[in-house]
Amino acid sequence: MPAEWGAAQFLIDLLRITSIDILLSGDNAVVIALASRSLPEAQRRTAVMGGAAAAVSLRILFCLVITWLLTIPYLKAFGGVMLLYIGVKLVIPEGESHSNGIEATAHMWGAIRTILIADAVMSLDNVVAIAAAAHGSVVLIALGLVISIPLIVSGSQIMLRVLNRFPILVVLGAGLLGWIAGEILASDPALQARFHFDEHLVARFAKPLLAVLVMAVGTALSWRVRARDYEVVDLAPEDLK
């Protein structure tokens, strides 16, 4: 009987962790889709699979060291700023780098690196819920996250198709990263101790403000890049004018 109850509890905990992973997979899918949308098809598949596997591996690692990570002063503040930068960067068009194989490969690894950094920032708070549901069991954490891989991959594929069909969603996706950055910055313990602010009150204003800021800056820089790329250079000699 104890063994049966133990197996039942294991399954219940696994179901809870998998449910949490499903809820948390949306942000990962958006980041992976945004970072890999300009890649050619072959590199895109690799970036999606690599980004999803890396995201899951990071969460497993973070679950093991989350208590230590959350004691590092200003870590979440730094992560929030990094997420703002990534949000702006993902709006700016990458250009036709896939015309050269070496450049395309470098761009693919750059996309995976962007996915890794963004997921590392967003996972800091998320893994607390996962670790609590797992009751410290590394096996449960790993199983739940491995189960979430196909969810992240399929979600990313759906998001890629949607982003290609509705480009405006690229800007809104970047705004989502700005929203998450506002929440992360407001919850940084070191910032709270230094400036003595109410986390919920600051987050209420910081999330929409930073979302709009990321969308505005990203859109402005995107227009600038497109204007530069389409600028017509007059190569006619002076004596022929």
The domain locations on the chain are 11-227
* Alpha helix positions (H), the chain: 2-36, 41-69, 75-91, 101-134, 138-165, 168-186, 189-195, 199-229
Which pLDDT value is given to residue 102? 53
- Determine what percent of the chain is predicted with pLDDT higher than 70: 81
Which pLDDT value is given to residue 44? 84
CA distance 31 to 89: 12
Mapped onto helix, strand or coil, the DSSP state of residue 181 is helix
What confidence tens digit (pLDDT) does each residue in 15-49 have? 777 777 776 677 778 888 888 888 887 788 888 88
Cβ neighbours of 93 (radius 10 Å): 14
Confidence of residue 97 (pLDDT cuts 50, 70, 90): very low
Maximum Cα interatomic distance, the chain, rounded to a whole number of Å: 97
Contacts of 39 (CB under 8 A, 6+ apart): 47, 98, 104, 107, 108, 111
Residue identified by tokens 């399929």 is 154
| Residue with the larger pLDDT of the pair 96 and 202 | 202
Please report how the helices 75-91 and 101-134 are oriented relative to each other, as an axis angle in degrees rounded to 10: 140
